A and B are shown apart, each in its own frame.
Chain A
Amino acid sequence: MDMKVAKKKLGLKEKYKLMTRDLGWDTTYQTKEDVFPYVGYEGIKIHDWEKWEDPFRLTMDAYWKYQAEKERKFYAIIDAHAQNNGHLNLTDARYLSALKIFLQAISPGEYAAHKGFARVGREFPGVGTQVACQMQAIDEIRHAQTQIHAMSNYNRYYNGFHAFADTRDRIWYTSVARSFFDDAMSAGPFEFMIAIGFSFEYVLTNLLFVPFMSGAAYNGDMATVTFGFSAQSDEARHMTLGLECIKFMLEQDPDNLPIVQNWIDKWFWRGFRVLGLVSTMMDYMLPKRVMSWREAWDIYGVENGGALFKDLARYGIKPPKGWDDAEKAIDHMSHQFMLGLYQWSFGTAFHSWIPSEDDMNWLSAKYPDTFDKYYRPRWKHIKKLADAGTPFKNYGLAKLCQCCQLPTVFTEPDDPTLTCHRESVYNGQKYHFCSDGCKNVFDNEPEKYVQAWLPMPQLFQEPINGDLGAWMEWVSLRDGKDNGDYAGSEDQQNFEAWRGLATTNQ
């Protein structure tokens, strides 16, 4: 920190205190309730905001200095990447499907987090908490922007990126991520912190950023590695904020424990479903793979998550309710997702494909108990259909889970041959779910989840009225270019032709 003090020698903590929480005061012309109207209704009791422990103690001057350095590095690399046709360094252009999903579903989430943290950065009555949240608010817009900027050059050469602002609000699979962030933002400030600050940032983002970005490095995508690791350096602060926040809530009042536990249960499961797609990115979409989803889960889920919940046990916190079901799903989910994506690939602004023999051998080595038994036969069947010129397409509509909004493609935790379906009835209406986890979330707050915008029924309403072509136009999906199998796609042809230009003298 750059704060230099002439007289009394102040330690980092004291200095930081003067630079942040000492700035605030108890208002007297307006009541606390009017100044902070949203902080009470969730039932969390805070007796002393002064007890808040600041996660990292960056004053604004240090923040500007260090962040500027990160920014300079980042833009130098993506400029060079664009100028030198860095996209031709990719191992293979099918890898870009992962980035297309990222831009359409995750980057808008960064923006939502930006807005959400600005809100809680104002709504929490403690200055220390507010400042930490505000810094996260400004970081999150950074992430949205660096991602868009990093992918902008890919958009100039490849399909599937061009309409991310439209697909974000309209296409079916982005609704998974959108409903997650909308759910967090429509909650109160404390629940928002547990949702994004704790469950998403602390428990789950390592899975998204660390192994996946290493994967990007393996596959020659320096633009993504750079935004990924650069963003993750902010996440280290965010994760620490999330952890401080949960400890603070638990230390302030024992009555907070059941509320917090309930949120942890809910948001672990919500996050697990959203980030589930990362399993497919890692296991299927990286041409050169760095580690399997299972291996990543063992490190970042089991080992780190385990350590975290062991640490929190002193407050009475138990591991999230869905933890065991999650563990049971790990060896199945990437395959189930990819099979789903392949059969509905007419409706995705990214490509999917049938894994090659090599890919399948890798998958069976990484998933010795599941792949050959349950998934290789299905891929083989699909391959046979494709070879016969009758590729497997499911033009039927997927049944979406009312909670996580994913198609109900998952199997029973204890029976991988049986698709999992759950139902609840609320106000005489029947609602469908993909799992016990999602049904529980709904049952705890049905009045919220009945509001969910479901993209499939939209197909039969104005302005689409069941017309697939009209739907594609509405979601800005260009049939035959953005969607379908990677094999034979424009992206594949272009990439190979351009690479040919680079490696031969033709």
Chain B
Amino acid sequence: MQIDLRTVAIQPQRQAFDHLVRRFGDKPASRYQEGSYDIQAAENLHYKPTWAPEKELYDASLTRIVMQDWYALKDPRQFYYSTYTLTRARQQETAEANFAFVESRGLADMLPDELRDVALKVLVPLRHAAWGANQHNTFICGYGYGTTFTQPCMYHAMDNLGIAQYLSRLGLLLGDTDALEAGKQAWLDDAAWQPLRRYVEDCLVLRDPFELFVAQNVALDGLLYPLVYERIVDEHLSVRGASAVAMLTQFMSDWFDETRKWVDAVLKVAAAESEHNRDVLQDWTRSWSARAASAMVPIVELALGAEADEAVGQQLAALTARIQKTGIPL
């Protein structure tokens, strides 16, 4: 028997799950809300972690930031797994097409040697920095509190890995496996890369998830992405005839534009919560962005030479303004 169920008009018994009605009122909930709010266990946790017996399994006190409700840190993109994945799948199609275009037209071979060298020197070692970013965001997801805050960090971590992989492909395309080897060598030994590597390694031992968020996603990315992908790739290299490089890094530019809105939203809500949070955030943003800026100078120098100081200075000023707009006085 075929039943045409569409014709049946029946009254729903309720609009949404109880916890969402409590938060948002008695109305249908969005899939973002259903997939994000209150889905982390909150009470009656069974055992203390054997790796940190003084802590709880989910422990908001791992960070100095204090929130009455961690779910206030919502993602303005409202990413849950599906919307996140669909968005990145579309972007990867574009990236794929860009790589195919550069490859099929031999654009890589047409790059002036000097510009190719700059591109390889600056971009390839960054695959390691992106791996560092992946470690930090994975950490924040793992040890942070509240799904609206931690879920986008997992997406961010996978993005960081994707970026490391796009940079690896770029290296292979422009300079084969030798380029990756040289890039790794530079990351490990060249003086220009040591301040950044030290920065990343110092973050690897930070175990306050929110401070790590500031150090990586606010301070370092806030300088690195505009400096590398706007200032060096889009302006410096493209103007001189290496726009093929910009095609290969379009993912990173688009990604930074998109994700900074989320990063800012997190800062804004955390800062608005209390004087205490503002003080802590002021302290962190100030010290980490100063460190990030000085780590970026020798890297920017690889492309811009003597103009590096000024470029980094301008970008630091822009970042400072950006942070101030989130309500953190600097």
Contact = CB atoms under 8 A, between A and B. Distances in A.
Interface of A: 2-8, 10, 18-19, 22-25, 27-30, 34-35, 37-38, 41, 59-61, 63-65, 67-69, 71-72, 74-75, 83-86, 88-89, 108, 111-112, 114-115, 118-119, 121-122, 127, 130-131, 134-135, 137-138, 141-142, 144-146, 148-149, 152, 155-159, 161-166, 168-170, 175, 178-179, 182-183, 185-188, 448-449, 451-453, 455, 458, 476, 494, 498, 501-503
Contact of B41 (A169, A449, A503): A169
B10 A157 contact: yes
A170 B85 contact: no
A404 to B, nearest CB: 12
B172 interface: yes
B5 A161 contact: no
Q: Which of B15, B51, B95 has the most CB of A within 10 A?
A: B51
B86 to A, nearest CB: 5
A183 B35 contact: no
Given A122-B135, A451-B46, A476-B18, A28 B180 contact: no
Contacts of A135: 158
A389 to B, nearest CB: 28
A118 B138 contact: yes
Interface in B167-200: 168-169, 172-173, 176-177, 180, 184, 187-188, 197-198
Interface size class of B (residues with CB under 8 A): 35 or more
B213 interface: no
Interface in B31-88: 31, 34-35, 38-51, 57-58, 80-82, 85-86, 88
Interface in B141-157: 141-143, 147, 150-151, 154-155, 157
Given A157-B13, A186-B57, A169 B44 contact: yes
8 contacts: A4-B100, A61-B92, A61-B162, A67-B89, A89-B3, A161-B17, A179-B46, A185-B49
B13 A158 contact: yes
What secondary structure prevails in chain A residues at the interface with B? helix
A468 B41 CA distance: 24
Contact of B184 (A22, A114, A168, A476): A22
Nearest to A134: B138
A502 B5 contact: yes
B89 to A, nearest CB: 3
Interface in B95-117: 95-96, 99-100, 103, 108
Contact of B5 (A3, A75, A84, A453): A84
B117 to A, nearest CB: 17
Interface in B116-164: 127-128, 130-131, 134-135, 138-139, 141-143, 147, 150-151, 154-155, 157-159, 161-162, 164
A113 B326 CA distance: 34
B154 A138 contact: yes
A30 B100 contact: no
Nearest to B83: A71
A6 B108 contact: yes
A3 B50 contact: no
A3 B166 CA distance: 9
B239 interface: no
Interface stretch (B201-209, B224-232, B257-265): B201-209
B28 to A, nearest CB: 8
A60 B158 contact: yes
Contacts of A142: 81-82, 85
Contacts of A3: 165, 169, 172
A188 B197 CA distance: 28
Ranked nearest first, the 4 interchain pairs of A and B with the lowest CB-CB distance are: A68-B89, A60-B162, A118-B142, A145-B35
A65 B35 contact: no
Contact of A18 (B6, B139, B180, B202): B180
Contacts of B18: 162-163, 165-166, 476
A122 B86 CA distance: 25
A29 B168 contact: no
Contact of B127 (A23, A71, A89, A108): A23
A178 to B, nearest CB: 7
Given A2-B92, A156-B15, A185-B49, 9 more contacts: A4-B100, A18-B172, A118-B142, A131-B161, A175-B44, A186-B49, A187-B50, A498-B10, A503-B3
A165 B78 CA distance: 20
Nearest to B51: A38
A27 B128 CA distance: 12
A147 B134 CA distance: 27
A8 B157 contact: no
B158 A144 contact: no
B17 A138 contact: no
Contacts of A60: 88, 92, 158-159, 161-162, 165
Given A152-B34, A188-B50, A30 B131 contact: no
Q: Which of B130, B162, B187 has the most CB of A within 10 A?
A: B162
